[in-house]
Amino acid sequence: IQEVFPDQQPIDRTSMNSWEDENFLAAVKKTGRKKLVMAALWTEVCLAFPTLAAIKDGYEVYIVTDASAGTSVEAHNMSIQRMIQAGAIPVTWESVLLEYQRDWARQETYDAVIEIAMQHGGAYGAGVIYAHTMFGGHEGA
């Protein structure tokens, strides 16, 4: 993540709930946005706790279910259900990527999105290569 966002300083914290960390919360508030896209490596704690707190504080939270993981499949699934019941909106990494792109005519992000889809998109990535080649693009990014 640091390679993709080199200007972002990691927030060192002790709390399991990032929403309880003053520096984290200040960074979120500084953006001025009320929609959050969140993922975490410990679904039932590091994703669930801040998601539930953010919803309570009036944020609209999108949880990236396939970019998160729990200590077990059961723990992950139950935590996802808990967050959905509280108002979180479940999404996948591909839906987030393509929602940000929105329009293939948007050239400033086109090549990067194509590259990500081809590298990580499985069957969708293969379809992107096909469409990209058939409709005047070039294979590869």
Q: What is the pLDDT of residues 39-60, one digit of tens each?
A: 999 999 999 999 999 999 999 9
Rounded Cα–Cα distance for residues 97 and 9 (Å): 23
Q: What is the per-residue pLDDT for 129?
A: 73
pLDDT, averaged across the chain: 89
Closest CA to 59 of 83, 91, 95, 93: 83
The set of catalytic residues is 46
122: left (phi > 0), else alpha (psi -120 to 50), else beta? left
Residue 110 has pLDDT above 90, yes or no: no
Residue 32 has pLDDT above 90, yes or no: yes
Closest CA to 96 of 76, 119, 79, 113: 113
Contact 110, 84 (CB under 8 A): no
Q: Is 62 helix (H, G, I), strand (E, B) or coil?
A: strand
Whole-model pTM: value is 0.83
Average pLDDT of span 93-100: 90
Structural domains of the chain sorted by starting position, each given as residue range(s) with its CATH number in brackets: 1-91 (3.40.50.850), 93-141 (no CATH)
DSSP state of 47: I
12 has which bridge partners?
Answer: none
Average pLDDT of span 83-105: 92
Residue 139 has pLDDT above 50, yes or no: no
